[in-house]
Structure 1
Amino acid sequence: MNARAPLLSVRGVRAGYGGVEALRGVDLDVGDGEIVTLIGANGAGKTTLMMTIFGDPRASAGEIRFDGRDLTKLPTHEIAKLGLAQSPEGRRVFARMSVRENLQMGAMLAGGAHFSQDLERMFAIFPRLKERAGQRGGTLSGGEQQMLAIARALMSRPRLLMLDEPSLGLAPLVARQIFEVLRDLNRDGLSVFLVEQNAFHALSLAHRAYVMVNGEITLSGGGRELLARREVRAAYLEGGL
């Protein structure tokens, strides 16, 4: 029996900025219903990979497929329409818009027909956002902004949610809450691709994981399998928990 094709497939992808090559032949898969995490040091190329999947920068070589469709020449807005959504590094909420207006922006790709239903779902997932519905995004705490960034991405009803450093700058308790939400969303069927420096939480959460060093994948395996590896613990967990 042939194995099922991955939902997201990255093969031999190279990309960079100007004359600097940031990705050097990356191979990576995210299966339907999986949580896959990518860890690595600052500057390893993790964010570049996530941005390249969305078409900015463009891959200079290789292939990126989502549900069998080649993404490498599609504009970003067309990629998003296929069922990918991104919660970017730094959250990038619309600072002058209210929480509700931010969520309306996220719902545009879904056409708005299910806005009220989806809004109530986001408020159930993130009760704090319901309390802050009329508050400007720029006045929220860091944790609240991260919740808003994830909820805004979910409003497009994606098949694959891509998150770049969702725990960055958050208090440990808030970071744990974010990871618990991701686990619950995945149990409901959402596929997740997670770029994250918090290796312990990311690897504990992931079905499978990859390690990136200098634009190349150097290790891959089950999340807890990599968590147990001595070289991963030494490099990314500072010798222990």
Structure 2
Amino acid sequence: MSEALRTPLLSVRGVETYYGNIIALKGVDIDVHEGEIVTLIGANGAGKSTLMMTIFGSPRARNGQIHYEGRDITRLATHEIARLRIAQSPEGRRIFPRMTVMENLQMGAAIDGYAHFEEDLAAMFTLFPRLKERVAQRGGTLSGGEQQMLAIARALMSRPRLLMLDEPSLGLAPLIVRQIFDAIRELNRSQKLTVFLVEQNAFHALKLAHRGYVLVNGVVTMSGSGQELLARPEVRAAYLEGGRH
């Protein structure tokens, strides 16, 4: 079936989001199909994180619609959206710093009712061996890279159908960035996990993604395959020059 005829797993149509009287998203249209990695790139302040949070219901879209699995979720509360097997690893990681690695992972598994806890825990320790070494350590004492691994693992413990990652490479050393992106690629390859990735690191994000969108001042200005966007001179000039890590 062609891309145009398939019903997207996630569909954003004409979404406008405001902070007070300031419009942050100006009629955004984005599709994410099942089994895809889709990335949204753009400069700091373009509205990328706002879109991620709007999909999750906070802030709420003032206009437009958000559909997931064909269902309109535009007006659902955040906790109701989380129960639909959508998981988010937010910008800044936001793990529970006073809880141990194990306790953080238990919090992630609570949405799934701990039905597959031991199996999923073993899978996370295979994906991120460092977490197994730190299992009894408090989250706040981990390095930035370890905290990002924990944030992603905590999201995965809920067995999501759609994983939304907001700036997973932010502030991390290049070697750790590669490890994080390799893990995302492996999850998509082995489990067909659908990933919506918001990233400032355009080079890594577009290399990883099947498709991408460029957001400029709350407006989608370009879209295409990851390779197509990597090759476009305007993308290279704005986001890639000197930006390879």
Please give the TM-score of this superposition, normalised by the length of structure 2: 0.97
Letter in 2 for 1:228: A
Work out whether residues 201 and 243 of structure 2, in 8 Å CA contact, stay in contact via their aligned partners in 1: no
Letter in 2 for 1:40: G
Work out whether residues 105 and 154 of structure 2, in 8 Å CA contact, stay in contact via their aligned partners in 1: yes
Deviation, 1:79, is: 0.4
Letter in 1 for 2:239: Y
Equivalent residue number for residue 50 of structure 1: 52
Letter in 2 for 1:191: T
Letter in 1 for 2:77: P
Equivalent residue number for residue 13 of structure 2: 11
Aligned-partner Cα distance in 2 for 1:96–1:182: 26
Matches for 1:157-196 after TM superposition, within 5 Å: 157-187=159-189, 188-196=191-199
Matches for 1:47-196 after TM superposition, within 5 Å: 47-187=49-189, 188-196=191-199
Deviation, 1:117, is: 1.1
Aligned-partner Cα distance in 2 for 1:15–1:189: 31
1:162-184 CA deviation, whole Å, 9 max, x = no partner?
A: 00000000000000010000000
Matches for 1:27-42 after TM superposition, within 5 Å: 27-42=29-44
Equivalent residue number for residue 20 of structure 1: 22
RMSD: 1.0
- Matching residue within 222, 234, 238 for 1:235: 238
Please give the TM-score of this superposition, normalised by the length of structure 1: 0.98
1:167-215 CA deviation, whole Å, 9 max, x = no partner?
A: 0000000000100000000012100000000100000000000000000
**Unpaired segments ≥5 residues, structure 2:** none
Aligned-partner Cα distance in 2 for 1:221–1:166: 22
Identical counterparts, % of pairs: 74
| Closer, same or farther: CA 138–240 of 1 in aligned 2, 3 Å | closer
Work out whether residues 233 and 240 of structure 1, in 8 Å CA contact, stay in contact via their aligned partners in 2: no
Runs of 4+ residues deviating >6 angstroms? none
Q: Report how many aligned residue pairs link the two structures.
A: 241
Letter in 2 for 1:211: V
Stretch deviating more after TM superposition (1-10 or 42-51): 1-10
1:43-65 CA deviation, whole Å, 9 max, x = no partner?
A: 00000000000000000000000
Task: Indicate yes or no: 2:200 matched with 1:200.
Answer: no
| Closer, same or farther: CA 239–92 of 1 in aligned 2, 3 Å | closer
